[in-house]
Amino acid sequence: MSLLAVEGLAKAFGGVRAVAGIGFMVQPGEMVAIIGPNGAGKTTCFNLLGGQLRPDAGRVTFGGRNITGWAPPALARAGIGRTFQVAQVFRSMTARENVQVARAACRRRLLSLLRSLAGTDTAEADRLLDAVGLAAAADQPVTALAYADLKRLELAVALAGEPILLLMDEPTAGIAASERQALMALVRNLVAARGLSVLFTEHDMDVVFGHADRVIVMHEGALLADGAPERIRTDPRVREVYLGGSLDDVGIAAGGQA
């Protein structure tokens, strides 16, 4: 059975149908990329899955449960982790505290008034920070971290919730090209080690074709293609959408950046 099943998902803003009845699946342990030109509806689709928006129509099933329209905290408890296009971290805290809060949330300890957060789950938080390569920065206030490190920290925060599925909206946006592959390799390893599934959107075609097991192409809010990277790379419709059917200057075929 697939882990995530999306059927007929739709969302309109005013008269604009940002997502127009899309459907796809994610299997356990799979890393799936959603790509598409700007305005294809990727982020809207992501926000529908992550609970930031409520769909107008459609159905989302996760692990056999209907989770359509659930709010983010409920999704988190159900096992869906999330990272954002612009890294969202708790700016007034240290790296370790960021992970500790997420652990406390996962373990339903948020109403605890008497114990001190500093002493809870310290070893676990440090393990997670170590896993994303931030062990040395544990005591740093996050305002002192470089942006690429914030992306890593956000990953650790998302992992602290023990997700089964990780939704990553442009995981490499805003970081240097040289660091993108390293970050995605890290995600890849974590997926393997923890048996996670990952659904991510991405603009960098090197990242997409280097790391996705499967690629979903969106165009004008709908599903255009869904298949293995090699098939997508050669799909004429995808070339048409990205290249307007003429130019050969960007990405898909050459495997460069779109």
Q: Which residues of this chain interact with other proteins, rule CB under 8 A? A: 50-52, 71-73, 75-77, 81-82, 84, 88-94, 97, 100-102, 104-106, 109-118, 120, 141-144, 154, 157-158, 160-161
Q: Closer CB to other proteins, residue 101 or residue 184?
A: 101
Q: Kindly state the tokens that stand for 176.
A: 């240097």
Which residues is 4 bridged to in the sheet? 26, 62
* Least CB distance to other proteins at residue 84 (A): 6
Q: Least Å distance between CB 75 and other proteins? A: 8
Residue 24 or 84: the one with the smaller Cβ distance to other proteins is 84
Nearer to other proteins, 83 or 258 (CB): 83
**Residue 57 CB, nearest distance to other proteins (Å)?**
21
Between 40 and 104, name the residue whose CB sits nearer to other proteins. 104
Q: Least separation, in Å, of the C-beta of 91 and other proteins?
A: 5
Residues 99/139, Cβ–Cβ less than 8 Å: no
Task: Name which of 48 and 238 has its Cβ closer to other proteins.
Answer: 48
Residues in the chain, how many?
258
Residue 190 in contact with residue 131, Cβ under 8 Å?
A: yes
CB of 225 to other proteins, least distance (A): 29
208's CB contacts (< 8 A; 6+ apart) are 33, 35, 202, 215, 229
Token code pair at residue 80? 């869906």
Do the beta carbons of residue 32 and residue 6 sit within 8 Å? no
CA 56 to each of CA 8, 45, 66, 129: distance values in angstroms, whole numbers, following the listed order: 10, 12, 15, 38
